[in-house]
Amino acid sequence: MTTESASAPVGFIGLGKMGAPIARRLLDWPGGLTVCDVRAEVTEPFVAAGARSVLDPAQVATHARIICVTVVDDAQVTEVLTGPAGILRTAAPGTVVAVHSTIGDRTARELAARCAERDVEFVDAPVSGGAPGAMRGSLAVMIGGSAAAVDELSGPFGCFADLIVHAGPVGAGTRMKLARNLLHFISFTAAAEAQRLAEAAGIGLADLGKVVRHSDAVTGGPGAIMLRETTAPIDPDDFWFPILGHVRDLGEKDLALALELGDRLGIELPLAQLALTRLADGLGVAESALDKETS
């Protein structure tokens, strides 16, 4: 981060459930904060705390050199950037626009090209950690853009995030967020399946939830296995083979036991069945060392 970027004025567009707590972390930013939302009333607490409020994204761009956008979807992001009152109407060359909304990676690339025509730098910078993470300043930000933009943004992003990852060129931040949320929502679906099994077995769901949250906080949950650079099959001589082979063996045993319990209770567990058939291959240890030696 350069001395100039450490005091660059920041603009923030979109003060919804995620945008507002992120923007609040920027109220003390040395370069000042300009906010904008279609609902005038949500800007009032920011003005009371010292921020400037303006009516549209074009006015944000007259005051800010770094502009964060947290709106709902691709259409709104496109309107904020390229609409009649959009950022590109007034943005000065060298302005950096960071979109925290989760949009399509192709949309990100298309908007980056539009911005480049005006010498404005676009980055996709989706976040993970939810509103609680934003309030604590502990979000993860996944940036798709140039290394120079990452450096430019590190100061203001550091106000609301304690993990900033440069995922690659424009679009890469979005692709990383989609992979992360794939795990997130499949895990929710699996949690619902686990609750059905527990309920049928007479287990208290609230107590089960306590155990899951406690143990995931200790082990790291599903992310604990995301330590390799590739998903290719692991050679038996590799350091990771016995570690992930142990995960496979425990997983296959416990999944089989859960499926047997589900059969006895008349509960269908389609995700568990799929997990049993896919776990070993997914871990890269579908073939055991013994099998490989004797084949």
Positions marked catalytic: 177
Q: Where are the beta strands (DSSP E) in the chain?
A: 10-13, 33-36, 52-53, 66-69, 96-99, 121-124, 127-128, 139-144, 161-168
Enclosing H/E stretch for 113 = helix 105-116
User: Whole-angstrom Cα distance, residue 256 to residue 264?
Assistant: 13
Q: Which of 169, 131, 164, 163 is nearest to 147 (CA)?
A: 169
- Angle at which helix 240-265 crosses helix 172-200, to 10 degrees, equals 40
Cα dihedral 93/106/77/98 (nearest 10) = -50
Alpha helices in 130-239 (DSSP H): 130-136, 147-157, 172-200, 205-219
How distant is the alpha carbon of residue 283 from its chain centre? 23
